Amino acid sequence: MSAQPLIRLERLEKAFITEKVETRALHQIDLDIENGEYVCITGPSGCGKSTLLSLLGLLDVPTGGHYYINGFDVSDLNRDERARIRNREIGFVFQSFNLISDLTVEENVLLPLTYRKGMTAADAKARAKAMLDKVEMSHRLDHFPAQLSGGQQQRVAIARSLINEPAMILADEPTGNLDSKNAEIVLDLLRQLHAEGSTICMVTHDPRSVESVARQIEMLDGQIIADTARPVAKVVGR
């Protein structure tokens, strides 16, 4: 483990105010995630885990406390600064895949490179092809999302999350819309990526997903109530 964690949260708070009513979603969250860890966040609906993932992904800002990425405080950045760091440092995998229906598989994977300076179109396409090779989807390069199964769409989404070589991958219920066979394929792929050095933080309700990780963080009522090391299931072939 490195002396400085990839992620450090110090007394992180998030409150939502609607019609003069304040709802505290997160309260006094302290958390370190080391480079190369595979962590899952679990807990009942409404416990704050998706809010926490949103803050980790710089999709929202905390109302108190501090959030550090590689020692840099990102708690109070403006929208443009958050977008720049998010594009460079964070890859997202969503339950609903979030592929754009009128773009091909290749074009969807290329999206995070849109604002990447100093990369030629040929280099970008070569990188997209390499990421699709990694998830065994390069043979569908010219297909559209509607022509793919749910499992295939999620693998394309994972390729898209990897295209910028992010510091970490944030996965929000990545198996939530998949049948058991495709869920296992996606989980095996995430295990493979972790074995290759990726840092992964996953929100999940799925017991199969929890079996993939070495560390489980349990939340309740906006707080971390347990942080547990786990035995990890062996990687199986796809």
CATH number at 187 reads 3.40.50.300
Please give the average per-residue pLDDT across 208-237, as a whole number. Answer: 83
Q: Is residue 72 part of a domain?
A: no
- Cα–Cα distance for residue pair 38/114, rounded to 1 Å: 28
Q: At 232, is the pLDDT very low, low, confident or very high (cuts 50, 70, 90)?
A: low
Query: Average model confidence (pLDDT) for the chain?
Result: 91
Strand-strand pairing, 72-73 and 90-94: unpaired
More confident residue, 3 or 171: 171
- Cα–Cα distance for residue pair 74/8, rounded to 1 Å: 10
Q: Is residue 5 part of a domain?
A: no
Count: domains in the chain: 1
Query: Which pLDDT does position 1 carry in this prediction?
Result: 47
Q: Using one digit for the tens of pLDDT, what is the confidence trace for 72-88?
A: 999 989 999 999 999 88
Vertex 61 angle, CA 116 and 202, to 5°: 75
Q: Alpha helices of the chain — where are they, by DSSP H?
A: 49-56, 79-89, 105-110, 121-134, 150-162, 180-195, 207-210
Please give the average per-residue pLDDT across 163-184, as a whole number. Answer: 92
Q: How far lies 47's CA from each of 26, 62, 112, 157, 205, in Å?
A: 8, 16, 30, 26, 12
Q: Is residue 215 part of a domain?
A: yes
Neighbours of 39 (CB within 10 A): 20
Neighbours of 101 (CB within 10 A): 8
8 DSSP β-pair partners: 32, 68
Task: Report residue 17 as tokens.
Answer: 């105010």
Domain residues for the domain of 103 are 37-60+80-229
Query: Which pLDDT does position 7 carry in this prediction?
Result: 96
Q: Is residue 14 part of a domain?
A: no
Amino acid, single-letter form, for residue 208:
R
Q: Is residue 75 part of a domain?
A: no
Query: Which pLDDT does position 234 carry in this prediction?
Result: 52
Backbone angles phi, psi at 119, to 5 degrees: -120, 125
Q: Is residue 70 part of a domain?
A: no
Query: Which pLDDT does position 109 carry in this prediction?
Result: 96
Q: Is residue 201 part of a domain?
A: yes
Neighbours of 204 (CB within 10 A): 24
Looking at residue 225, the DSSP 8-state letter turns out to be E
Q: Using one digit for the tens of pLDDT, what is the confidence trace for 143-159?
A: 999 999 999 999 999 99
Q: Is residue 24 part of a domain?
A: no
